[in-house]
Chains A and B, each alone.
Chain A
């Protein structure tokens, strides 16, 4: 571990598993349910949140000694809002089609509980470098779940991955469809995303009993 000290590395690895923002802290569920019907959207969302959270954490951390604590929520909101607008504009410029499907949810990154949660819980009390790592780690943990959910939902719901027809063509009846397989329409509805997240939580807690709370 030349680059990162052990403590710093933990900031990144912890949120990936035992302190995952979605499955353990149960934050950011709304976007996890709303945009995971396609893998591509999940990945873009994960990257956007990572950009906002990492930069936002650094900004808040730099300002942590000059923000009056009474108005800190408003200051945090201004920072997130500014960053989200930048991300939104970047998406519009370079991935217009995708930004249309994601539109409202990119805007709603502002209200993603993970971001405010990390600002409050970490950035306000830590140095910029640690805050940056914490931002990357938490966004990665969030993105990991998003991508897992997106993978299963797109594969089972539409039979595609990133738009490629990996299971064959449902109209031409090739591949799996030739033997009677059909797409599971339920997978494309948000309730199924909740169930998939639930199953991930189930598996995680049955592997690590320490995570089970009474």
Chain B
């Protein structure tokens, strides 16, 4: 009698108890249950929902670790305590000091996100009497990566409760949601507490605190860390090199800065056949097209230096892929299999429009410096419609073919 058998017997004995879904969730997380499906023919495959979710989490881990180092790095750099790292392998980046600050700030975000989110899932599973769903595993990892490092934890918990209940549970739980839950959570935070989600203070740990100290009359230097998008929207010079943008040694939300590591994650997801390369590719194409249109407008002198759009429109079109949360959103959010289009043709349209709209919102709406969140949420809503027309188009085509054949 091993531990597994003991646990299994324990489960059998308490089958009728109300809390058993909670126990099952933990049990199946660690062990494969001793049950087989009772009827019908089934294909035996190893990639159940938990495996799928864990693969995505593995793809996110490099971003998370990088995010921790970057949190500390930006914190010390803004205070002038260390020198600029100049690239991915810079000596002042991968230091223990940076990691300690990162752990101190980022780990609580992860713990709160998972703790609150899973608690909501458990409560709903017990109320509804079904098994706990694994849907939150990925969301819980995504959420800390897409919020500013200094976001107060209570705000995060409120947003997580809102996102899981309103974004997912009311529609019937994992797999039934219309909107990506992680982005619902971020959108909630963005509209509810805008002062903590945008501006030039929130992206670097300590900047808000400094500001309050100055307001209280203490004699310290203000530190600010405008994101590149924010800087461009104001038409100022960007202080970071393209290589810095690519590596991600720039201010931003915790895990979305490093395009390099997001690419690694993307390759991993495509290789594991979890993320759709069609969506990623078409989204990048969409962004490039929109970027080229804007560049064209600038070089045709429709938009001149005086215009408030000049800063973002004159940004070289491919820089848009490196700055802001575009890369992260495209790879990890747009490809969410539940909320994206299901048909292959639909995926091309869906992805293209996400890229296209992201850059458009980014440039035209100074109130929403990052467009990718809103673009993905918008396209989530349209994904079923796109699929419907793709399927109907296919039906029509085949009807025609049938008619031609029989006539």
Contacts and interface: CB of A to CB of B under 8 A. Distances in A.
Contacts of B154: 180-181
B152 interface: yes
A27 B336 CA distance: 35
Contact of A187 (B155, B192, B195): B192
Interface in B181-209: 188, 191-196
A180 B170 contact: no
B179 to A, nearest CB: 12
B57 interface: no
A189 B187 CA distance: 13
B155 A185 contact: no
A185 B188 CA distance: 10
B110 interface: no
A184 interface: yes
B112 interface: no
Interface in A168-214: 180-182, 184-187, 189, 195, 198-199, 202
A184 B166 contact: no
Nearest to A156: B192
A186 B170 contact: no
Nearest to B195: A182
Given A195-B166, A202-B170, A186 B152 contact: no
Nearest to A180: B152
Contacts of A198: 166, 170
Interface residues of B, number: 13
Contacts of B166: 195, 198-199
Contacts of A180: 152, 154
Contacts of B158: 184
Contact of B193 (A185, A199, A202): A185
Contacts, number: 25
A63 B27 CA distance: 71
A186 B191 CA distance: 5
Given A195-B166, A202-B170, A186 B155 contact: no
A189 B152 contact: no
B152 A185 contact: no
Contacts of A202: 170
A61 to B, nearest CB: 40
B123 to A, nearest CB: 14
Nearest to B194: A185
A182 B191 contact: no
Contacts of B170: 198, 202
A155 to B, nearest CB: 14
A186 B155 CA distance: 12
A189 B191 CA distance: 9
Interface string A65-101: 0000000000000000000000000000000000000
Contact of A186 (B192, B195, B196): B192
Given A195-B166, A202-B170, A184 B192 contact: yes
A15 to B, nearest CB: 25
A185 B154 CA distance: 15
A181 B152 CA distance: 10
Contacts of B155: 182
Nearest to B187: A186
B193 A184 contact: yes
Nearest to A181: B154
A181 B154 CA distance: 9
A186 B187 CA distance: 10
Interface string A46-76: 0000000000000000000000000000000
A180 B212 CA distance: 13
Contacts of A199: 166
A38 to B, nearest CB: 18
**Residue with the greatest number of chain B CB neighbours at <10 A, chosen from A180, A182, A195:** A182
A175 to B, nearest CB: 16
A198 B193 CA distance: 22
Nearest to B192: A186
A185 B189 CA distance: 9
**Residue with the greatest number of chain B CB neighbours at <10 A, chosen from A182, A185, A186, A198:** A186
A186 B193 CA distance: 8
Contacts of A185: 191-194
Contacts of A184: 158, 192-193
A187 B152 CA distance: 18
Nearest to B170: A202
Interface string B247-283: 0000000000000000000000000000000000000
B331 to A, nearest CB: 27
A169 B152 CA distance: 19
Contacts of B192: 184-187
Contacts of B194: 185
Contacts of B152: 180, 182
A54 to B, nearest CB: 35
Contacts of A182: 152, 155, 193, 195-196
A37 to B, nearest CB: 14
A182 B192 CA distance: 9
19 contacts: A180-B152, A181-B154, A182-B152, A182-B193, A182-B196, A184-B192, A184-B193, A185-B191, A185-B192, A185-B194, A186-B188, A186-B191, A187-B192, A189-B191, A195-B166, A198-B166, A198-B170, A199-B166, A202-B170
Given A182-B195, A184-B158, A187-B192, 9 more contacts: A181-B154, A184-B192, A184-B193, A185-B191, A185-B192, A195-B166, A198-B166, A199-B166, A202-B170
Leading 8 A-B pairs by shortest Cβ distance: A186-B192, A186-B191, A184-B192, A185-B192, A182-B193, A195-B166, A180-B152, A185-B194
